[in-house]
């Protein structure tokens, strides 16, 4: 258990039951599951473990509430979201500590996530007021075209452990704004942050049954019948590409509307004309945010040969200066990875690269002792057949490969099934735009290592997903278009 003075209080106050139909209740049969502190491997607490019947009860509640919620005035939906935004800021310290305890990231990172997560409430509070349609004369002048937007209906949200709050608000806020009801299934490792969000939305005045939260240790068993249920109208998933593929296949049975925020393999491309100080600083942001456990994490660095050695040396210096520790301890820069499996996967990828000829300039292994720590690592001389250039690392490892020409850089950056985000560093405007056009990704960080922004469309192409979250596009995922042909 963390020695943070508020840890016990925050944990004791955290809701641990299911939130279904506006009531906090135990799971069927009183089942519970363990939540672990990844920095120590110790049990933090137990949380209600929803059964398939609990999942169905949550959908029943969402379906029953859909009609009334869709009819609620936009002003009221907007006000609920704005109150949620304010409450999230007020509760930021406690929400951040709770997140750090169950997920491991440093308190500073958790606070950053809470602030980011709250922005979706603010943004969609505004969007709730801007849902529109149009009315026009048909081309032949004989009739009129009336187009209206309506909420898609009850939604199922499945979220990952790496951003336990933001991956929730990015779906919940637009759904609330659009007038949809929902069932949320958070990741097994991090249910506490989502339950705390449910409490916050309840306090913000969200009516009962609009949001239902069912943590479970049986995610596929719980989700499958919900996805097959014709009353469900939308599935939004954030997680790995393999699970996304499975869910898309399941969703095809009901031709369910889906949004998929899947895996990434972000290239971080540095040209010799880049501001190298900025590139190194932003490389740290793109690589080390969330200990590398981010879909947007820079997975591989492609650096022009003439500046590669300098870039590697400066990045190594910065990585060496980081302090590993319990996320809730003062002075910690880098927390643990989420669990032993994740740490094992990172170690396997690093071992594979080293066996194929890469050199570790710093780090390269797990940290001994309790918790799932992996050393911040920089690898150079990474051969093209190293697995970590192709697979999502999800850890604090920066592999550096070199290129000589712009064409080579573009080809290397695009050589992946993923297409979420790329980072591009150059001071040449023509090159910046040319390469941005050529990169096969949904987002590009141009001379910056962070793209997440509630007011911008987040999402990927290729096998990184379908749809966009945030921005002007975000609410469209929760609206259907209805056309009425009007004979006057």
Q: Where in the sequence numbering do the catalytic residues fall?
A: 261, 295
**Cβ contact 159:175 at 8 Å:** no
Which residues are within 8 A (CB) of 40 and not within 5 positions of it... i.e. 6 or more apart?
A: 1, 326, 370, 371
Return the biggest CA–CA distance within the chain. Answer: 77
Burial 111-135 (b: 16+ CB within 10 A, else e): bbbbebbbbbbbbbbebbeebeeee
| List of E strands, 262-358 | 266-270, 298-304
The least CB distance from residue 196 to ligand NAP, in Å, is 17
- Residue 263 interacts with ligand NAP (CB under 6 A): yes or no: yes
Question: What is the C-alpha separation between 354 and 339, in angstroms, rounded?
Answer: 23
**CA torsion sign, 41 to 289 to 13 to 53?**
negative
Which of positions 170-199 make contact with ligand NAP (CB under 6 A)?
Answer: 185, 187-188
Give the tokens for residue 23: 């009531």
Q: With respect to ligand NAP, which residue has the nearer C-beta, 161 or 373?
A: 161
The least CB distance from residue 120 to ligand NAP, in Å, is 13
Residue with tokens 């999230």: 88
CA distances from 366 to 47, 164, 315, 347 (A): 29, 24, 20, 7
Which of positions 225-244 make contact with ligand NAP (CB under 6 A)?
Answer: 238-240, 243
Q: With respect to ligand NAP, which residue has the nearer C-beta, 261 or 375?
A: 261
- Residue 267 interacts with ligand NAP (CB under 6 A): yes or no: no
Quick count: other Cβ atoms within 10 Å of Cβ 377?
25
Applying CB under 6 A, the span of 22-30, 219-227, 359-367, 379-387 interacting with ligand NAP comes to 219-227
CA distances from 470 to 100, 116, 149, 154, 423 (A): 25, 11, 18, 19, 20
Question: What is the C-alpha separation between 81 and 173, in angstroms, rounded?
Answer: 7
Q: With respect to ligand NAP, which residue has the nearer C-beta, 149 or 170?
A: 170
| List of E strands, 152-230 | 155-158, 182-185, 211-213
Contact with ligand NAP (CB under 6 A) among 160, 164, 364, 467: 160
**Cβ contact 298:333 at 8 Å:** no
Runs of H (alpha helix) within 104-160: 107-127
User: Could you tell me which residues are beta bridge partners of residue 24?
Assistant: 19
| Total chain residues near ligand NAP (CB under 6 A) | 27
Q: With respect to ligand NAP, which residue has the nearer C-beta, 263 or 449?
A: 263
- Residue 416 interacts with ligand NAP (CB under 6 A): yes or no: no
Shortest-Cβ-distance residue relative to ligand NAP: 239
- Residue 51 interacts with ligand NAP (CB under 6 A): yes or no: no
Contact with ligand NAP (CB under 6 A) among 92, 246, 414, 447: 246
Which of positions 285-324 make contact with ligand NAP (CB under 6 A)?
Answer: 295
Q: With respect to ligand NAP, which residue has the nearer C-beta, 162 or 209?
A: 162
The least CB distance from residue 241 to ligand NAP, in Å, is 6
Which of positions 437-466 make contact with ligand NAP (CB under 6 A)?
Answer: 460, 465
Contact with ligand NAP (CB under 6 A) among 219, 259, 332, 362: 219
Contact with ligand NAP (CB under 6 A) among 95, 223, 279, 353: 223
Applying CB under 6 A, the span of 24-32, 155-163, 284-292, 347-355 interacting with ligand NAP comes to 155-163
- Residue 27 interacts with ligand NAP (CB under 6 A): yes or no: no
Residues near ligand NAP (CB under 6 A): 158-163, 167, 185, 187-188, 219-220, 223, 238-240, 243, 246, 261-264, 295, 392, 420, 460, 465
């Amino acid at each position: 258990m963390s020695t943070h003075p508020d840890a016990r209080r925050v944990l004791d106050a955290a809701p641990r039951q299911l939130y279904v139909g506006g009531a906090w209740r135990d799971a069927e049969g009183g089942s519970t599951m363990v939540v672990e502190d990844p920095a120590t491997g110790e049990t933090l607490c137990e949380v209600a473990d929803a059964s398939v019947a609990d999942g169905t009860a949550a959908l029943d509640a969402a379906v029953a509430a859909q009609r009334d919620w869709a009819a609620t005035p936009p002003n009221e939906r907007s006000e609920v979201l704005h109150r949620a935004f304010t409450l999230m800021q007020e509760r930021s310290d406690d929400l951040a500590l709770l997140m750090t305890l169950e997920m491991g990231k440093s308190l500073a990172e958790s606070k950053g996530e809470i602030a980011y997560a709250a922005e979706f409430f603010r943004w969609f509070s505004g969007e709730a007021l801007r849902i529109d349609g149009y009315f026009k004369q048909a081309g032949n002048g004989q009739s009129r075209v009336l187009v209206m937007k309506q909420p898609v209906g009850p939604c199922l949200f499945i979220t990952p452990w790496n951003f336990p709050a933001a991956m929730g608000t990015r779906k919940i806020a637009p759904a609330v704004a659009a007038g949809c009801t929902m069932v949320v299934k958070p990741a097994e490792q991090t249910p506490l942050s989502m339950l705390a969000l449910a409490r916050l939305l309840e306090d913000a005045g969200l009516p009962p049954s609009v949001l239902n939260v069912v943590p479970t240790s049986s995610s596929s068993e719980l989700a499958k019948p919900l996805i097959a249920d014709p009353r469900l109208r939308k599935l939004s998933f954030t997680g790995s590409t393999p699970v996304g593929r499975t869910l898309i296949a399941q969703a095809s049975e009901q031709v369910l509307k889906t949004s998929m925020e899947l895996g990434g393999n972000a290239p971080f491309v540095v040209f010799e004309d880049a501001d190298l100080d900025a590139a190194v600083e932003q490389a740290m942001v793109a690589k080390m945010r969330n200990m590398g456990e981010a879909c947007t994490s820079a997975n591989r660095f492609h650096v022009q040969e003439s500046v590669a050695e300098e870039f590697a040396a400066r990045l190594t210096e910065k990585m060496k200066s980081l302090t590993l520790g319990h996320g809730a301890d003062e002075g910690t820069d880098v927390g643990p990875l989420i669990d032993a499996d994740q740490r094992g996967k990172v170690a396997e990828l690093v071992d594979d690269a080293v066996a194929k000829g890469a050199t570790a300039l710093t780090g390269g292994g797990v940290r001994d002792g309790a918790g799932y720590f992996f050393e911040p690592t920089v690898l150079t001389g990474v051969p093209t057949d190293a697995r970590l250039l192709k697979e999502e690392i999800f850890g604090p490892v920066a592999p550096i490969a070199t290129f000589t020409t712009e064409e080579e850089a573009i080809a290397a950056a695009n050589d992946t099934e993923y297409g979420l985000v790329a980072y591009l560093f150059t001071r040449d405007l023509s090159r910046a735009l040319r390469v941005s056009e050529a990169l096969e990704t949904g987002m590009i960080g141009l001379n910056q290592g962070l793209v997440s922004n509630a007011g911008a469309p987040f999402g990927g192409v290729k096998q990184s997903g379908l749809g966009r979250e945030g921005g002007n596009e975000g609410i469209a995922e929760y609206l259907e278009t209805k056309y009425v042909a009007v004979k006057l």
